[in-house]
Amino acid sequence: MKKIWIYARTSTKDKQDLETQLLPLREYSKARGFEIYKEYTDKISGAKENRDSLDLLLDDAKKRKIDWVLVFRFDRFSRSTKQLINTLELFDNLWIDFISYSENIDTSSPAGKVLFTMISAFSEFERSIIQERVKAWLEKARKKWKKLWRPWVSTDVKKIVELKEKWLSFREIAKKLKLKKSNVYNKYKEHKTNLV
């Protein structure tokens, strides 16, 4: 007999009892010839990222204790499409099949596999769009950086000393070498100090 894990959740504001979800899931499991191995239940808002029983289910999945997961509806299981896709990808990598009772989705069926492939494709598409946006932002930031800051120029101390010995002022040397006056002065002073 195939073993299945059930997950059900109601909101704290929800008047619905968990049994409203669990009863049809138990009947469905029996009709499909599944043995219910464990039931995970949460009474918490779907917006909450951490849910004790869901976290325990995912932990058991990573430990490969789970073969099938059955939920009443997608929104009872995940708080967002992104979370659902990530969890379905995790299950797929761990060879765990997923069934959503209300949406009639079963990833072990050919139609369920096609749907999962489509969901994964959209997920990959979304990731590539994000990567393109990040690359575009970095390129824009690089261009902005170049405008804000002068490119680094190596200071030729010998040239500064040579021009200074020709009685040019620090301002004139800086203009000639396209450097800051303070940079020219500091390099010249450093050179003289090293000679002492």
Known catalytic membership, residue 11: yes
Q: Which of 162, 157, 164, 165 shows the shortest CA–CA distance to 183?
A: 157
- Across 57-186, the runs of DSSP E, i.e. the strands, are 68-71, 97-100, 105-106
* C-alpha neighbours within 13 Å on the C-beta side of residue 78: 14
Phi, psi of 84 (to 5 degrees): -60, -50
Cβ pair 181, 172 in contact under 8 A: no
CB atoms within 10 A of CB 153: 11
Q: Which residue has the tokens 């204790």?
A: 65
Burial class (CB in 10 A: 0-12, 13-18, 19+), 133: exposed
The amino acid occupying position 94 is L
**Torsion angle in degrees (nearest 10) through CA of 122, 124, 129, 131:** 160
Catalytic residues: 11
